Chain A
Amino acid sequence: DQQVKQNSPSLSVQEGRISILNCDYTNSMFDYFLWYKKYPAEGPTFLISISSIKDKNEDGRFTVFLNKSAKHLSLHIVPSQPGDSAVYFCAANSGGGADGLTFGKGTHLIIQP
């Protein structure tokens, strides 16, 4: 049973527009959420995170929104750039961070020129 779900395997967005990647989770114990970006033949790299005590965190072009009641989070990229083309993974954990991360299956973002 997938505890972290990314229901869109792929997403195509025009350069300069907003990219919105979505993630849902089922485990109420999750209290910390992260987004990772992955290029082919490389490991995932950390992008942005949010604690469950917040509903928004912003870092440059990247903003993550958390809706705890809906168990939903989203990653907004504005404006989208060609270098943003990658697979984006949503991840979550609990237990004060001592445990490993539970990942979604990823969304392949394609930025079209």
Chain B
Amino acid sequence: DAGVIQSPRHEVTEMGQEVTLRCKPISGHNSLFWYRQTMMRGLELLIYFNNNVPIDDSGMPEDRFSAKMPNASFSTLKIQPSEPRDSAVYFCASRTRTGRGGYTFGSGTRLTVV
């Protein structure tokens, strides 16, 4: 099992550019979560999907942020246009719907917007 795979590991971009972060969940997991980690706010939930359907996007900070899950094995988080305050580590996690635990995190994407 390769775990949750995120790409890229690091991204440096200029303010105003579009940024796309990618996530491949664990096969068989049917819930996927996007988190953002900053010093000020810690780990905060941005959006999550169940069976590829977005369930709660109330954590998405602004309309500049969007997320999609076109199939069970792939999800993207897009920021357009990016701003320096978007600099953070973005984590993707997946789990099965059964049970109460089982959240597995990827290694994260460190985004720096200059």
Interfacial residues, chain A to chain B (CB-CB below 8 A): 32, 34, 36, 41-46, 49, 51, 89, 93, 96-106
Contacts and interface: CB of A to CB of B under 8 A. Distances in A.
B50 A45 contact: no
B99 A45 contact: no
A98 B50 contact: yes
A43 B105 CA distance: 5
Contacts, number: 59
B85 to A, nearest CB: 18
Question: Interface extent on B, as a size class?
Answer: 20 to 34
B91 A103 contact: no
B42 interface: yes
Given A51-B100, A100-B48, A104-B42, 18 more contacts: A34-B101, A41-B107, A43-B4, A43-B105, A43-B107, A46-B102, A46-B104, A49-B100, A97-B99, A97-B101, A98-B31, A98-B97, A99-B56, A103-B35, A103-B42, A103-B43, A103-B44, A105-B42
Contacts of A99: 48, 56
